[in-house]
Amino acid sequence: MLCCLKYGAFLFYASWLVVMTAFAVAFVPETKGVPLESMGHVFARHWYWGRFVKDQKFGDEST
C-alpha cells in the first residue's frame, strides 16, 4: 500500500498531523504552572469541556 501511494503517504501523515495539532490547540487547555488540585477548575472554565465538567468542590476546599 505504501509503495502505491508514493508521495501520498507523506500527505496522509501530514494531514493527520494538521488535524491533531488543531485538536490540541482547540480542545486541550493550558495547564502550565497550575497545581493538580486546580485542574477541575481549569476544565470547568474551558469553553468546550465546561459543558461536561461541572465546577465541583472537593474535600478540603473551603470556598
pTM, two decimal places: 0.65
Contact 13, 31 (CB under 8 A): no
Burial 10-30 (b: 16+ CB within 10 A, else e): eeeeeeeeeeeeeeeeeeeee
Give the pLDDT means over successive 10-residue stretches in the chain (63 positions).
77 96 95 91 90 71 55
Q: Quick one: pLDDT at residue 8?
A: 85
Q: Quick one: pLDDT at residue 57?
A: 67
Query: Structural domain boundaries of the chain?
Result: 2-51
* Nearest one of 11, 45, 16 to 2, comparing CA atoms: 11
Q: Quick one: pLDDT at residue 13?
A: 93
